[in-house]
Amino acid sequence: MKRAALRCLALAVLLTTLSGCLGNSIIDDPNTVKRIGEEPQKRIVIWHTYSDEETLLFEKEIIPAFEAEHPDIVIESVRQTHNREYHAALLARASAGKTPDIIRMDYTWIPVFAQRGLLHPIESMPGFDTVSEQLRGRMLDTNRHEGHVYGLPLNITTKAAIYNTRLLDKMGMQEPPSSFAELARLARENGYTLGMTGIDLWNSLPYFFANGGQLADEAFTRTEGYFNSDRSVAAAEELLRLFRDGIINPSLLAGNADLWREVYASQKLLMMDEGPWYYSILLNSAGVDVNLLQRTRPVPFPSGGDYRSIIGGENLVMTKGTRNKPEAWIFMSWMTRKETQLKLLEAGLIPVNTDAFEEGGKAKGTVSLYLAPYMESIHDAFYRPSIPQWNEIERIYNSAMEDIFIRGENIKETLDDAARKMDVLLEAAERS
């Protein structure tokens, strides 16, 4: 009995002591103590497809500058390869909930990902209206789907005509030809070639437009009467004729010509078309032993139809499974501010921030020497529509060009069939 009493007394003393300790903690501020599962910093993983030069700038300058301003946020950069396999793999990972927090993706991909519920809408994020007001409207619109905004435009691009200046000088031309018809005539008369790099939509559509071809109405709700119009049939016939006559890249279907080198080194290739990455990559390449800005000259693609060229660009999107959404939004919006966009301009990435776009267009330096015609071309280039069916429409276009250039099918019948197939997809888009 005596031992039991002593045990009870000891227990009472212990409880009293613990009570006092709990009421008078030796920790001044318990909220500052890291608890299980807490992170001292929020980590944001971003997947992108930047080139070598762009990645170097992004990882060595852009990210450190952001982390210096936001020491509580860590950015993890993961570079991916931009191709069809990446698109399919990304969709599969997103469907399985295994995506990064932020993805830099081609703007035409967004409707597909949004339609499948794989992206997080951002229009309700803090300061969205202020951020969006600073961005170019058409590119911002590419992020809209069924009443929501799923991303922020990051950069915009287009293609320009890149001329061999030695051949221009040889013809005594101070300025490149203003129309594609004149360009084709000069190439034919002088035995030169034009470097169309492929028959797929991204590579051939500028040439199709330049010869008067059409793809759809302005709102992209109908292709019947446009893609199979008399103008489009004539444009396809002219391109096929130029190819068969050896004026358009004789290696077009083989795909084994090094046009990037030929346009400054050969005595035959008068012009090729390419994006600004042609310069941002080659100007930093040890393998180029000539002054590229003297041996080539970029100008807006020669007009002859409704559009000069084609618009490309990437947006930043937040995935549905992003854990740290406030921090992801902070980084996304920071990437679109004027100062960041001007820094990205140093790698040849055309800004979507309107103030940065205007200031960048007036800037001096190597980048501005080659970017000016690209920035000028944006104003009358073709924006691929932001619809979930776009990839299938692009495949129909590509198949039609294969039928014409490879299989020798009747051009009018081929374009009629393609227009019908495209319109079925567009009608489905309107119903959904």
Pick from 26-40, 191-205, 298-312, 359-373: least confident = 26-40
Residues of the chain with CATH 3.40.190.10: 42-157+311-382, 160-308+389-431
pTM assigned to the model = 0.87
Going by DSSP bridges, is the β-strand pair 160-164/102-106 parallel, antiparallel, or unpaired?
unpaired
On the question of pLDDT at 3 being above 80, the answer is: no
* pLDDT at residue 188 in the model: 98
CA distance 406 to 252: 11
* pLDDT at residue 99 in the model: 86
CA distance 95 to 112: 12
> If you ran DSSP here, which 8-state letter would residue 304 be given?
S
CA distance 392 to 424: 11
In contact, 285 and 174? CB cutoff 8 Å: no
On the question of pLDDT at 366 being above 90, the answer is: no
Q: Which residue has the higher pLDDT, 364 or 252?
A: 252
State the DSSP H helix or E strand holding residue 115, giving kind and residue range, or none if neither.
helix 110-115
CA distance 260 to 262: 6
Q: Under DSSP, is residue 283 helix (H, G, I), strand (E, B) or coil?
A: coil
* Residue % of the chain over a pLDDT of 70: 91
In this prediction, residues 192-214 reach a mean pLDDT of 97
* pLDDT at residue 95 in the model: 82
Greatest mean pLDDT among 27-41, 150-164, 293-307, 349-363 lies in 150-164
- Distance from CA of residue 402 to its chain's centroid? 25
Confidence category of residue 38, pLDDT binned at 50, 70, 90: low
CA distance 397 to 401: 6
- Distance from CA of residue 373 to its chain's centroid? 18
In this prediction, residues 418-424 reach a mean pLDDT of 98
Sign (positive/negative) of CA torsion 339, 340, 345, 350?
A: negative
What is the overall mean pLDDT for the chain? 90
Cβ-based neighbour number of residue 290 at 10 Å: 12
Q: What is the CATH topology of the domain spanning 160-308+389-431? A: D-Maltodextrin-Binding Protein; domain 2 (3.40.190)
Token pair recorded at residue 148 = 């929501």
In contact, 283 and 292? CB cutoff 8 Å: yes
On the question of pLDDT at 40 being above 90, the answer is: no
Confidence category of residue 166, pLDDT binned at 50, 70, 90: very high
CATH number of 42-157+311-382: 3.40.190.10
* pLDDT at residue 34 in the model: 45
Confidence category of residue 39, pLDDT binned at 50, 70, 90: low
- What are the backbone angles phi and psi of residue 178, rounded to the nearest 5°? -85, -20
Single-letter residue type at 36: I
Query: How many Cα atoms sit within 13 Å of 308 on the Cβ side?
Result: 23
CA distance 341 to 135: 11
Distances in Å between the Cα of 350 and the Cα atoms of 203, 313, 355, 360, 377 are 20, 9, 12, 8, 12
CA distance 191 to 210: 21
CA distance 182 to 395: 31
